[in-house]
């Protein structure tokens, strides 16, 4: 099915909803949906770390991205201040670094101190200049106002080197690596709380790839050494690289059964694709995300039961995004150049709507997902693109910024009464995808809505069953006529938020969500 076509089905009738043939829609028609909330039906506190990001030594993410010495827009440390400002606008509590595939052949010791040499990066076939490393990243984090989330190399290195990095970053002792940090200009520890035990070690493309049993033992040993130096850290074991892997969930089960008591998180990764250019099916991607989270909920419950443990392991969804336009072949081969342009995906409206659904899923599963990282942030499959004279915010930047700012407090479980459509392999899917947050201190509610329809606006009625809505708050919407519409350097505001419409009458709040659109209703006051 080509882009812009609706599935050949009819909308299902739900209560007062109109029965409309999808292929014969009157553009003036307006669908109705109802979202019911109750503060007793919730999945717990939303962890702000679900709005984290990811920087990897890949393409122009670092060099020419966040770090550009000599540029008029860079500070005395070589950090691009315009990029840092854009990153600060995303309100990210932490950022994962330095990889990604890069980390599995990276010796962090090469990236500290004054005696640094370039080296070949086999992950992306580039020449790494090695002028940006651990200490530079820590400076960048302070400038942006985010916390570091470090990954250690469990591919070509092992537990001892991982523990040494913890010593370098976190210890205030007179020992070798803590003293080396002081000698390198950082008197106080960096105090890194979150640590990834390798990256995608299930993947044959990964340097040091090994069977699950071998990785699990290596990760457990690393975890014990690292936590022995700093008992306060949180550890993330490498889970499956994606649902497409033949070892999906079996790999994770092995790792969890071996490492359960030594970790806090298991990682999950997914990159969504619309290679078939089927917009209606692509816009049902949230169904897949929900399915993956259900898989991990079941798996972690199973292992916890088998081990008869009171300990919990949560999900760190530490790589997620849309990625397919610039994938494979020359787009991932750096030809041994320094900072080449690789995987510079151009994001459009439909991509932004899928990203919003990722975040809806994470919010709804606040009981399971405690960390999630948009991959990546600058130039490489990124929210922000750079050139020497400035930056361009891509379409996916805006949903992230809106969600991270407004999704605070308790995650409420939405009951959605809504017309559906046939999304092909993904079945019958609601036109409206929703999540909600509730601030128990102020009584304020935020409602996050995505309209998957390509040609039908939807009026959403909020039914709050245990509270009264007394204030409508504000609504931001993002939409467009063409799902392929993207921001460009010449037209940077093709896909940006604008003020939306809501109405509060007799305690009933309605919010209009345009076709091919999303809406964030914030500051809804209740009592």
Neighbours of 88 (CB within 10 A): 13
Q: CA 212 to CA 215: how far, in whole Å?
A: 5
> What does the pLDDT look like over 70-114, one tens digit per residue?
999 999 999 999 999 999 999 999 999 999 999 999 999 999 999
Confidence of residue 60 (pLDDT cuts 50, 70, 90): very high
| Structural domain spans, the chain | 22-44+411-526, 47-407
The pLDDT score that the predictor gives to residue 452 is 98
Average model confidence (pLDDT) across the chain: 94
Q: What is the pLDDT of residues 441-466, one digit of tens each?
A: 999 999 999 999 999 999 999 999 99
User: Looking at per-residue confidence, does 118 or 1 come out higher?
Assistant: 118
pLDDT at 29: 72
* Residue 295 in this model has a pLDDT that exceeds 50: yes
Provide the pLDDT for residue 13. 34
If one looks up domain 47-407 in CATH, what number appears?
3.20.20.80
Question: How far is the C-alpha of 206 from the C-alpha of 130, rounded, in Å?
Answer: 21
Strand partners, 36: 415, 463
β-partners of residue 457 are 30
Closest-CA residue to 92 (of 150, 50, 45): 50
Q: Where are the alpha helices (DSSP H) in 189-239?
A: 212-229
Beta bridge partners of 197: 152, 237
What topology is assigned to 22-44+411-526 in CATH?
Immunoglobulin-like (2.60.40)
Q: What are phi and psi of 318, to 5 degrees?
A: -90, 10
Would you say 498 and 451 are in contact if contact means Cβ atoms under 8 Å apart? no
Q: What is the pLDDT of residues 180-191, one digit of tens each?
A: 999 999 999 999
In our burial notation (b when 16+ CB lie closer than 10 A, e otherwise), range 291-328 reads ebbebbeebbeebbeeeeeeeebbbbbbbbbbbbbbee
Polymer length in residues for the chain: 527
Reply yes or no on whether the pLDDT at 518 is more than 70. yes
State yes or no: pLDDT of 374 exceeds 80: yes
**CA distance linking residue 292 with residue 276, whole number of Å:** 21
Neighbours of 136 (CB within 10 A): 18
Q: What pLDDT does 307 receive? A: 97
- Nearest in space to 450 (alpha carbons), one of 420, 489, 479: 479
User: Pairing relation of β-strands 508-513 and 457-464?
Assistant: antiparallel
Reference 455, options 515, 501, 401, 385; nearest CA is: 515
pLDDT band at 330 (very low <50, low <70, confident <90, very high): confident
Is the distance from CB of 374 to CB of 403 less than 8 angstroms? Answer: no
Give the C-alpha separation, 169 to 182, whole Å. Answer: 10
pLDDT at 15 over 70: no
**Kind plus residue range of the DSSP H or E element containing 410:** strand 410-412
**Catalytic residue positions, numbered:** 200, 319
Question: What's the CA gap between 234 and 226, in Å, rounded?
Answer: 10
Alpha-carbon gap, residue 218 to 454, rounded angstroms? 49
Residues 6+ apart with CB under 8 A from 208: 104, 105, 153, 154, 155, 156, 201
Prior bond to 100 cis, omega within 30?
yes
The Cα diameter of the chain in Å comes to 75
Helix axes 81-88, 134-144, angle to 10 degrees: 60
- Mean pLDDT for 309-319 is 98
Read off the pLDDT of residues 379-430 as tens digits, 9 standing for 90 and up.
999 999 999 999 999 999 999 999 999 999 999 999 999 999 999 999 999 9
Dihedral sign computed on CA atoms, order 478, 479, 483, 488: negative
């Amino acid at each position: 099915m080509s882009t812009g076509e609706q599935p050949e089905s009819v909308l299902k009738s739900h209560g007062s909803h109109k029965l409309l043939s999808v292929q014969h829609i009157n553009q003036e028609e307006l669908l109705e949906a109802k979202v019911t909330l109750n503060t007793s039906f919730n999945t717990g506190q939303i962890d702000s770390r679900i709005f984290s990001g990811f920087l990897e030594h890949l393409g122009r993410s670092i060099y020419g991205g966040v770090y550009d010495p000599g540029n008029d827009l860079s500070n005395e440390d070589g950090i691009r201040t315009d990029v840092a400002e854009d990153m600060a606008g995303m309100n990210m509590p932490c950022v994962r670094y330095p990889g990604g595939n890069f980390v599995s052949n990276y010796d962090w010791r090469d990236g500290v101190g004054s005696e640094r040499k370039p080296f070949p990066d086999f992950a992306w076939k580039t020449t790494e200049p090695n002028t940006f490393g651990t200490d530079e990243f820590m400076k960048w984090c302070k400038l942006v106002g985010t916390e570091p989330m470090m990954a250690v190399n469990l591919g070509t290195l092992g537990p001892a080197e991982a523990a040494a990095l913890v010593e370098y970053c976190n210890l205030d002792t007179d020992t070798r690596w803590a003293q080396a940090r002081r000698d390198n200009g950082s008197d106080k520890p960096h105090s890194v709380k979150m640590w990834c035990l390798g990256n995608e070690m299930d993947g044959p493309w990964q340097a040091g790839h090994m069977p699950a049993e071998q990785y699990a033992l290596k990760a457990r040993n690393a975890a014990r050494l690292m936590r022995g130096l700093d008992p306060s850290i949180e550890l993330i074991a490498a889970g499956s690289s994606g649902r497409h892997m033949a070892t999906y969930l079996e790999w994770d089960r092995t790792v969890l059964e071996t490492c359960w008591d030594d970790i806090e998180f298991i990682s999950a990764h997914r990159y969504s694709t619309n290679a078939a250019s089927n917009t209606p099916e692509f816009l049902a991607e949230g169904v897949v995300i929900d399915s993956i989270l259900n898989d991990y909920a079941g798996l972690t419950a199973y292992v916890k039961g088998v081990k008869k443990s009171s300990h919990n392991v949560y999900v760190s969804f530490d790589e997620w995004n849309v990625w397919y336009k610039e994938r494979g072949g020359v787009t991932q081969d750096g030809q041994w150049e320094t900072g080449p342009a690789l995987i510079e995906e151009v994001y459009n409206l439909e991509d932004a709507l899928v990203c919003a659904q990722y975040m809806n899923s994470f919010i709804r599963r606040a009981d399971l997902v405690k960390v999630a990282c948009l991959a990546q942030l600058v130039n490489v499959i990124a929210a922000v693109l750079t050139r020497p004279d400035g930056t361009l915010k891509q379409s996916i930047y805006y949903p992230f910024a809106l969600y991270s700012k407004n999704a605070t407090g308790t995650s409420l479980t939405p009951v959605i009464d809504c017309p559906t459509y046939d999304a092909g392999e993904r079945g019958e899917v609601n036109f409206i995808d929703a999540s909600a947050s509730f601030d128990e201190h102020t009584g304020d509610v935020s409602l996050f809505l995505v309209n998957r329809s390509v040609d039908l606006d939807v009026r959403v009625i909020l039914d709050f069953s245990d509270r009264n809505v007394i204030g409508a708050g504000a609504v931001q919407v993002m939409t467009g006529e063409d799902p392929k519409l993207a921001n460009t350097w010449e037209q940077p505001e093709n896909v940006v938020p604008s003020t939306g419409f809501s109405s509060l009458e007799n305690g009933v709040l309605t919010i209009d969500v345009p076709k091919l659109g999303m809406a964030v209703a914030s500051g809804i006051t209740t009592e």
